[in-house]
Structure 1
């Protein structure tokens, strides 16, 4: 963990540069000083084709990011990570935001580790010898 899910409307697909956004998201999480194990970070983008924004009268767009993490991290650690992550998202979309109607949002979901199942050999690659 963490897992990041980026949902975005297909009316911005050509300009969204999702591979770059996912790289930036992972970079922010890795830069948190070991708060999130690098081998557990997963980010993905889901292009939405069925959606409606507001009254549907304009070609409105949105990007919603969900950050899922295991519980137990202090509030200040969670806030720092979320603040930096949302800043990176806003920076990524700044030009598009200036040109069109666009809603950006993010939510943090914490869950109990007792309800998750994991089998991951990627962590070993990042263990310090």
Structure 2
């Protein structure tokens, strides 16, 4: 963990959002906190074709980032990580934010303790 789940309005393209660069920056920031292992990080984006924002102005857009993490971090660690990750998101989107109506939202939530996963990515990362 964490899993980064980004939703965005369909009037914002993957190219205009530069998702590869955003995901790289988010991963770097998450690893840099010292509380998230690289092998547990997943990023994905969902383009919402059907949306309406405020009064329906066509150029209005939104980006929502939901960060889901496993349990075991302190409130201080979660707060610090959330602020740092939101800062990456807003800085990355600043050019779009300055050029059109844009709603940026963020949430960090902790998964319940009874979740299950299995991965062998750590084994493969050590081989690189």
TM-score, normalisation: structure 2: 0.91
The answer for the alignment partner of 2:61 in structure 1 is: 61
The answer for the alignment partner of 2:105 in structure 1 is: 105
Q: Quick check: 2:7–2:47 contact (8 Å CA) kept in 1?
A: yes
Deviations 1:63-91 (A, max 9, x none): 00000011221111001111110000011
| Alignment: residue pair count | 125
Specify the SS of the correspondent of 2:25.
helix
Q: Distance in 2 between matches of 1:59 and 1:93?
A: 15
The answer for the alignment partner of 1:26 in structure 2 is: 27
Q: Quick check: 2:69–2:110 contact (8 Å CA) kept in 1?
A: yes
Q: 1:125, CA displacement in angstroms? A: 4.1
The 4+ residue runs of structure 1 with deviation greater than 2 A are: 123-127
Specify the SS of the correspondent of 2:120.
coil
Q: Quick check: 1:37–1:123 contact (8 Å CA) kept in 2?
A: no
Q: Distance in 2 between matches of 1:45 and 1:17?
A: 11
Say what the alpha-carbon RMSD is for the aligned residues.
1.4
Structure 1: stretches of 5+ with no match in the other structure: none
Q: Quick check: 1:5–1:45 contact (8 Å CA) kept in 2?
A: yes
Structure 2: stretches of 5+ with no match in the other structure: none
